[in-house]
Amino acid sequence: MINFKKFVDKNLTQIQIGTAILLLAAIGTSGYFIYSLFRDIIFIKKEMASSKASTGESLTVLGGQIKDLQSGLAIAAKTNEELAQSMQSQQNSLGQTLSGLAGTVNTLEKLSRTDRELLQKYSKVYFLNENYVPVQLATIDQKYLQNKDANQKFHTVVLPFLTKMIDDSAGDPSSTLLVNSAYRSFGLQSALKKTYLYLYGTGANSFSADQGYSEHQLGTAVDLNTPSMGSVLDIKFETTPAFIWLTSNAYKYGFVLSYPKNNAFYQYEPWHWRFVGVELATKLHNENKNFYDLPQREIDTYLTKIFDQSPH
């Protein structure tokens, strides 16, 4: 039987040498593998570090791009809001323009249907030729006439304003009004003027218009009187309660006194009243002005509104 201890002690050197050889051989075999493994690990770490750095740079760039996009979106949103506001403003402006055009068309349409002569200054200023007759004339009911046998006519659209005024004045018996004279044709005015010239000579020019210059030819002027004064038109009419009522209320029905005291055309005629529309009559009353005091261009602006308001 071999003694293992002695064998080892005797062959220790050889065993160590063999082990060393075997170890070197093992190291030689696996050393390259280990080296390669460490080299690969280091390479991978470098690649990871490089990738991390590259990723960091990419993220930084991407972050900058995102900020740029956000800034661009904010600018675009603001621009869009401004465009929307501009569009809304343009739509409003267009709406106002269309509304203004519609108003202009409506005004022009009303002008085309309204007799332009109704607010012209006659009485030695403008002239109505012998062919002019109001488009619409209506017969005045006899109950409103001073002379019940007369056939008096008045502008059809204005007649309700006149009769309403007379009806309201009758609330006080002492203020009751009656129509002495209304529409007169060119021919009738011519005949009347000849009669006055025959009776009064050239003095008739101070109170009677020549044919073509009389407001009565328009069918919107009326001479008013009271039952107590008969058929005569007299300056004493200004002392009656009826005249006092007229000076305070006629404008509500669209009527104004054509020839007040100190006018430049005819003698004072407290009985002669002309329809100019409620709006213009109210303006003249409130400002204590007379119809002939205003320039024609200002008067013309009231033509389209002459029939707009009903009598009070």
Report the alpha-carbon distance of residue 77 to residue 102 in Å, rounded.
36
Report the alpha-carbon distance of residue 204 to residue 198 in Å, rounded.
9
For residue 124, give every residue at least 6 positions away whose Cβ sits within 8 Å of its Cβ, in sequence order, or none. Answer: 209, 213, 265
pLDDT of residue 100: 41
For residue 164, the one-letter residue type is: K
Token pair of 122, please?
């006659």
Report the alpha-carbon distance of residue 178 to residue 197 in Å, rounded.
27
pLDDT of residue 213: 73
CB burial readout 213-231, b (16+ within 10 A) else e:
bbbbbbbbbbbbbbeebee
Report the alpha-carbon distance of residue 295 to residue 299 in Å, rounded.
7
Report the alpha-carbon distance of residue 290 to residue 199 in Å, rounded.
31
pLDDT of residue 110: 47
pLDDT, tens digit (0-9, with 9 covering 90-100), for 14-72: 655 555 455 445 555 555 556 566 676 677 667 666 766 666 666 677 677 777 777 77
Token pair of 19, please?
């082990």
Count other C-beta atoms under 10 Å from residue 20's C-beta: 10
Q: Nearest Cα to 189, choosing from 221, 217, 147?
A: 217
The size of the chain, in residues, is 312
Token pair of 260, please?
């007040």
Token pair of 233, please?
């038109």
pLDDT of residue 22: 53
CB-count burial class (<10 Å; 0-12, 13-18, 19+) for 131 = exposed
pLDDT of residue 15: 55
Average pLDDT across the chain, whole number: 78
CB burial readout 172-193, b (16+ within 10 A) else e:
eeebbbbbbbbbbbbeebbebb
DSSP 141: P
Token pair of 200, please?
């009064």
pLDDT lower than 70: segments of the chain: 1-38, 40-41, 44-45, 47-49, 51-59, 62, 86-87, 89-113, 123-124, 192-212, 311-312
| CA-to-CA separations, 113 to 70, 297, 300, in angstroms, rounded | 63, 19, 14
Residue with tokens 């038109």: 233
pLDDT of residue 92: 66
Report the alpha-carbon distance of residue 140 to residue 222 in Å, rounded.
11
pLDDT of residue 235: 92
Q: Is this prediction's pTM over 0.75?
A: no
